[in-house]
């Protein structure tokens, strides 16, 4: 099954350094998807830091991987074609 790899950015956007109140984000004005590379995640943190002008930036990048358990529609169609 396919693996989906991406990066998640977390920070305490209200400047309260409390792990129970972490804010998870990954979108920008032009992009709504989580970053696929750590370099893209770092770029988004820089853009956020310029926009929000936080005194303390505690943003952190987390690598995530999801294994899809269900076949995609495309794969199902391909397997049907092979059977015919």
pLDDT of residue 16: 60
pLDDT of residue 9 exceeding 80:
yes
Domain tally, the chain: 1
- Pick the closest to residue 25 from 43, 45, 40 (CA basis): 45
Mean pLDDT of the chain: 82
**Global pTM value:** 0.68
**Of residues 75 and 59, which shows the higher confidence score?**
59
Dump pLDDT digits (tens) for 25-55.
766 677 678 889 999 999 989 988 888 888 8
Q: Which domain holds residue 27?
A: 3-83
Q: In 3-state terms, the chain is what percent helix, strand and coil (to 5)?
A: 35, 25, 40
């Amino acid at each position: 099954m396919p693996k989906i790899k991406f990066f998640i950015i977390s920070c305490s956007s209200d400047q309260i350094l409390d792990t129970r109140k972490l804010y998870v984000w990954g979108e920008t004005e032009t992009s709504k998807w989580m970053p696929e590379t750590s370099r893209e995640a770092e770029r988004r943190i820089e853009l956020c830091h310029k926009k929000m002008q936080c005194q303390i930036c505690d943003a952190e990048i987390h690598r995530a991987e999801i294994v899809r358990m269900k076949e995609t529609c495309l794969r199902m169609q391909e397997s049907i074609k092979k059977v015919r």
